[in-house]
Structure 1
Amino acid sequence: MFTGIVQDLCEVVHVDDRDGVRRLEVLLGDHADGLESGASVANNGVCLTASHIDGGRVRFDVISETVQLTNLRDVEVGSRVNIERSLKFGDELGGHILSGHVSGTMTVSRIEVDGANRTMWFSVAPDHMPYLMWKGWIAIDGASLTISRVERATNEIAVSLIPETLERTTLGGFDVGSIANLEVDAQTQTIVNTVRETLKDPNMRELLQQG
C-alpha cells in the first residue's frame, strides 16, 4: 500500500526490453536504504517489485500488461519517475490509501496558469468518469490529489497544483499531450459499482420507486 505522497523524482538509468518484459533500473539513492529484493516500490504510481538492488541502483521488471496499461511504456534513460516506498505501520498517512494498481492513463488536455499555480485538465476514458467527482481523491502518477473541477460532457477533470507539487513530481514537466497514470479511489469505485449492480435488480428498482 501507498499514500500518494511522492518521496522523490528519481532518474531512470537503464532500460532493457526483452522476452516481453521491460526492465527498468532507477537510481533511488538514499531511498534504497533498507530496501530488500521483493519489496514494493511505486514508480509513477505503479506498484513494482524490486528484483535487484545494487547500492542505490534498483531494478524493476515490468510485465507487458503493465507496460501497455501505464506510461512506463514511454520511460527511457534519463526520464525521471515519481518514487514512493511502501507504507509501513506507524507511518504518517498524509495522502490517501493507494494500491499502486493503475486504472489506466489519461492525457493532459489543457493547462491554466495563474501566477505560480496551475490548473491542469485531463481527458479521461469514459469508463473511468463515474468514479471521478468534485473534491474526490485521485492519484496522478502516484501523487495524491483532489479533483477541483469536473466536465462530464467532455470527459475531463482538473486538479489545482501548487508550486511544491510541481517541483517534487512529474506533473511539473507535463505539457498538453502528456500521458499520466490514473488510479481511482477504491472506495468510490466500490460504492459506484455496488449501486449500479443493485439498480439492475428489478425488485430493488420497484422498491426505490415506491419509496
Structure 2
Amino acid sequence: MFTGIIENLASVKNLSLKAGGGELFLNFSDLYDDLVLGESIAVNGVCLTVKEISGRIVSFDVSGETLKKTTLGNLRYAENVNIERALRMGDRLGGHFVTGHVDGTGIIKEKRQSAGQCTMSFSAEKRFTDMMIEKGSVAIDGISLTIVDLSDSIFSVAVISYTLAATTLGFKKAGDPVNIEIDMMGKWIKRLLSNLQEKKGGITREQLMEQGFL
C-alpha cells in the first residue's frame, strides 16, 4: 500500500524485455541505505518487488501483464521515474490509499500554466472516467492528485509547483502516456452499482450500510 506522495526520482539503467515479461534496472543513486530484497516499491505508480541490489542499481522483474497494462515497457535509458516505498504502520497518510495496481493508461492532453500551479488534462477510457468524481482522488504515475473537472473521457487535475519540480510531471508533455490508478472507493461503488443493476433492483440504505458506505 502506498500514499501517492512521491519520495524521490530514480533513473532507468536498463529495461530487458523477454518473452512473458522483462527486468527493469534502476539507478537509485544514494537515495536509500536500508533498501532490502523483497521490498515493495512503486515505480511510476506500479508496485514492483526488489529482486537484486548491486550498489546503487536495483532490479525488478516485470510481468507481461504489467507491461501490457502500464507504460513501463516504454521506458528509455536515463529516463526518470517516480519512486515511493511502501507505507509503514504509523506513517502519515498525506495523499490517499494507492495500491500500486495500475488500472490502465491515459494520455496527457494539455498542460496549462497559471500563477502557482499547472492544470493538466488527460484522456482515458470511459470505463475509467466512469469511476471518477470531481474533487475525488486519482493516482497519475503514482502521484496522488485531486480531480478538478470531469467530462466524458477527459479529466483534469491541478498540479502545484512543488509537485512539478519533484516528479516526472514536470518534464512530461502533451501526447505522453501515463499510468492511471482509480481511487478504490470509486471501484467499489461501480461494482456495487453493477451488481444491483444485474439484480434489477434499486439501492437501499441497508445495502449501502452492508457495503460500508454508511
Contact 1:3 1:144 survives alignment (8 Å): yes
Contact 2:196 2:203 survives alignment (8 Å): no
TM-score by length of 1: 0.92
| Map of 2:68 onto structure 1 | 68
Query: CA distance change for structure 1 residues 206 and 64 in 2, over 3 Å: closer, same or farther?
Result: closer
Give unpaired runs (5+ residues) of structure 1: none
| Map of 1:175 onto structure 2 | 173
Query: CA distance change for structure 1 residues 56 and 207 in 2, over 3 Å: closer, same or farther?
Result: closer
Paired positions, count: 205
Query: CA distance change for structure 1 residues 125 and 96 in 2, over 3 Å: closer, same or farther?
Result: same
TM-score by length of 2: 0.90
| Map of 2:194 onto structure 1 | 196
RMSD: 1.7
Following superposition, the deviation at residue 8 of structure 1 comes to: 0.8
Letter in 2 for 1:179: P
Percent of matched pairs sharing the same residue: 37
Contact 2:14 2:26 survives alignment (8 Å): yes
1:55-101 deviation per Cα after TM superposition (whole angstroms, max 9, x unaligned): 22100111111111111111011111000011111111111111100
| Map of 2:142 onto structure 1 | 142
Contact 1:32 1:55 survives alignment (8 Å): no
1:146-175 deviation per Cα after TM superposition (whole angstroms, max 9, x unaligned): 0011112xx100001111010111111121
Contact 1:137 1:146 survives alignment (8 Å): yes
Following superposition, the deviation at residue 192 of structure 1 comes to: 2.1
- Separation (CA, whole Å) in 2 of partners of 1:206 and 1:54: 54
Give unpaired runs (5+ residues) of structure 2: 206-214
- Separation (CA, whole Å) in 1 of partners of 2:203 and 2:62: 48
Contact 1:106 1:182 survives alignment (8 Å): yes
Bigger Cα displacement from structure 2, 31-40 vs 169-178 = 31-40
